[in-house]
Amino acid sequence: MHRRRTAATLAGAAVLAALTAPAAVAATPAPTGPPGPFTTCGTPGAPGFLTTRACIEVNGLQVRLFGQAYPTDPAWVPQNVGFKLSGTAPGLPPGPALYTTVLVPAGGTSVGEILTTATCGSSVTANFSVDNGGWPPSTATVTVTVPC
């Protein structure tokens, strides 16, 4: 009888230890597939009335080119400004540049959008500039390699 109690006590202790011990964490493999979205903006263009930045957002093989424009003068009054956005990628036919006029508020704004698909490992370049007669140029460029 004493052996049965000892065995039962040991079995109970083992169950209790198993219930209170931290669970083993199973290793899970890293997800596969295209990388998630990321955005890269280049160095600002030469300051003029506005500072410009060219940006590229990549989501898998989908690519979005756009620009950012920020006034350099704290007393900036919101006004319409003309811009030019263009891009290149090896293996893709050159697309037409996007010319657009946008109301630029004191806090700056995102400008334009060119959507395309790029091949894995290719380099995509965005060019963004002020296209407003009589204004000093403020051209910005950025290049991103589309990850595999």
**Domain CATH code at residue 98:** 2.60.40.2420
Q: Which residues contact 62 (CB under 8 A, 6 or more apart)?
A: 115, 116, 117
Q: Number of structural domains, the chain?
A: 1
pLDDT of 13 strictly over 60 = no
| DSSP state, residue 21 | S
31 domain residue, yes or no: no
For 133: left if phi > 0, alpha if psi spans -120 to 50, otherwise beta; the answer is beta
pLDDT, the chain, mean: 78
The DSSP element (H or E) to which 50 belongs, if any, is strand 50-59
76 domain residue, yes or no: yes
If one compares 113 and 22, the residue with the highest pLDDT of the two is 113
